[in-house]
A and B are shown apart, each in its own frame.
Chain A
Amino acid sequence: MSHPVSITCTGLTIRFPVYGVDAKSLKKSLARTLSVGGKLGRHFGSTDVTALQDLNLQLKAGDRLGLIGHNGSGKTTLLRALSGAYEPDEGSIDVYGRIAALLDLGLGIDLSATGYDNIRLRGRIAGLSAKEIEARLPEIAEFTGLGAFLAMPVKTYSAGMQARLAFATATAVECDVLLMDEWIAVGDAEFQKLAHKRLLSLVERAGILVLATHDVDLLRLYCNKVMRLEGGVASEVTDIRRLDELLAA
């Protein structure tokens, strides 16, 4: 039952219940329920924020979509929804293909464990079997360029070295759908070049890329389509050549 790689979102709406610090306390919540008088909202102690509203999106293999929009416009929410972490409140998300989300480089990084152990753990989280990881370990190790440091605890690494490790492990996964939040510029200039090459090959292998970024140059470099989000409302998916119109709008 092989199905071509695709992403389909129909009428996707995601609301966040925002639980205040207060609402997390059981006492306050009970007190609210028990208190007489004024009418309580349906979600007492929480407010709903609509992060995405009625979003429609259709992507097929070869599409490399750039997401633009101000902070808080819903880019990351959309990525998290596509990764399967956030459930829609209305509408649906239908994704065919193995998903890899590179949203947080620090995912599964344990500072007191060695570099090798971190690669293994991260690989396991990404869905690789222990065997597959061992097979891939030399390649990942070489890419990090950390050499003997990989046998040392990550806490002894500099920030740049940690970024190298995280990037190398996070991008070692085979996937059909790649979701990325802007963090591409890691490490020193030399590593950035390597990282760039790796990302390009990953994008080529991956059927679909969805990248959220503020960097227009990056958009032009990696994407062929672009969508603008504003207050959770999405624009049409447009060709990258019409990026300027979209930005001006």
Chain B
Amino acid sequence: MAQAAHMLRTGQRGGLFQLQMAFRDLKGSGQRLGLAWSLAWHDIVSRYRGSILGPFWITLSMGLMVLGIGFLYANLFKIPLNEFLPFVALGIVFFGVMTGVINEGCDTFVQAKGMLSQTSLPMFTFVWRTVLRNLISLAHHLVIVLAVLTVYGYWARADVPQALVGLVLMIVNVSWASMLAGIASARFRDIPQIVVSVMQFAIFMTPVFWTPDRFSGQHMAILHANPFYHLLDAVRAPLLGQAVAPHSYLVLVLMALGGWTLTFALFARTRRRIVHYL
């Protein structure tokens, strides 16, 4: 009983105080990352309980999609298979991470209702839970990435450290989008529908199933205005031995800063209300 914990909760004391409390929540979640990991792991285990392949079912269906689209579009677009198949494979796997984190973000707080309404657990814990859950899924789908890169001999060209930097930037960015979706969905139950539609639209508007070099001139502007293009390219291009445009990194860093500022400000404002939304 030596280290008695201390909890202080007070009424509204202005914006700065709210911000301070929001930071305290974030810090608290950092200390309890193990809990977020346990919850994420439990989610995966319970989602696939009783199934033999578990999360590999999704990997399998992704793999089939990669093969189907890879062969079909390579023929339609007259692109060599050894270029197009790895491109599609990486696109589908890594876009899947973004879709997963953002779509499941809508459920982050709604799903945690029971825990939020009777414990003082940091709210960020549940955001990390959603992110970590999708990283566990990604770890399964990496099988596809490894297979494709090996079969088509990309390892000599692939820049793995740079791809990892891209992955970190991607996760940092989709995390704020996920949390934003979580807060908005808790308050307005229409948001999940909207988010799902946007993500579906995005996968077709982003070079996942088609290559960006099919764009010409002025249309490139549209491509570069698509944040998902930069997010995906930062991970995919290095693995394919291609260069990432320097301004992509600028976009990603600015987007991370802007997005987190917005999300954090909203969180600071709504933190004490979220539990009542549920």
Contacts and interface: CB of A to CB of B under 8 A. Distances in A.
B188 to A, nearest CB: 4
Contacts of A2: 2-4
Given A2-B2, A25-B188, A121-B38, A85 B7 contact: no
B7 A99 contact: yes
Contacts of B5: 96-99, 176
Interface in B160-219: 187-191, 194
Contacts of B75: none
Contacts of A106: 114
A97 B126 CA distance: 24
Contacts of A104: 114, 118
Interface in A76-113: 80-81, 83-99, 101, 103-104, 106-108, 110, 112-113
A16 interface: yes
Given A81-B9, A121-B38, A107 B276 contact: no
A99 B114 contact: no
Interface string A13-24: 100110100001
A26 B191 CA distance: 8
A29 interface: yes
Contacts of A3: 4, 6
Interface in B254-278: 271-273, 275-277
B95 to A, nearest CB: 26
Contact of A88 (B6, B9, B276): B9
B11 A92 contact: yes
B46 interface: yes
Interface of B, secondary structure class, is mixed
Contacts of A117: 42, 45
A186 interface: no
A246 B7 CA distance: 31
A130 interface: yes
Contacts, number: 128
A42 interface: no
Nearest to B13: A92
Contacts of B272: 87
Contact of A130 (B38, B115, B118): B38
A70 interface: no
A113 B275 contact: no
A93 B189 contact: no
A89 B9 contact: no
Given A84-B119, A99-B5, A107 B11 contact: no
Contacts of B187: 19, 24
B141 to A, nearest CB: 24
A67 to B, nearest CB: 15
Indicate the size class of the contact surface on chain A: 35 or more
A122 to B, nearest CB: 11
A17 B277 CA distance: 8
A26 B190 contact: yes
Contacts of A176: 1, 4-5
Contacts of A199: none
A36 interface: no
A24 B7 contact: no
B49 A113 contact: yes
B267 to A, nearest CB: 13
Nearest to B6: A96
A99 B120 contact: yes
Contact of B190 (A25, A85, A207): A25
A125 interface: yes
B158 interface: no
**Most A CB atoms within 10 A — which of B116, B118, B187, B194?**
B118
Q: Give the 7 A-B CB pairs with smallest separation, nearest first.
A: A84-B120, A87-B272, A92-B10, A90-B11, A26-B188, A26-B190, A103-B118
Given A94-B7, A127-B32, 12 more contacts: A5-B4, A84-B7, A85-B275, A87-B271, A87-B272, A101-B118, A103-B118, A107-B115, A113-B49, A117-B42, A129-B34, A176-B4
Interface of A: 2-5, 13, 16-17, 19, 24-27, 29, 80-81, 83-99, 101, 103-104, 106-108, 110, 112-113, 117, 120-121, 124-125, 127, 129-130, 176, 207
16 contacts: A3-B6, A19-B187, A24-B188, A26-B188, A26-B194, A27-B190, A87-B9, A87-B271, A87-B272, A96-B5, A104-B118, A110-B46, A113-B46, A117-B45, A120-B38, A176-B5
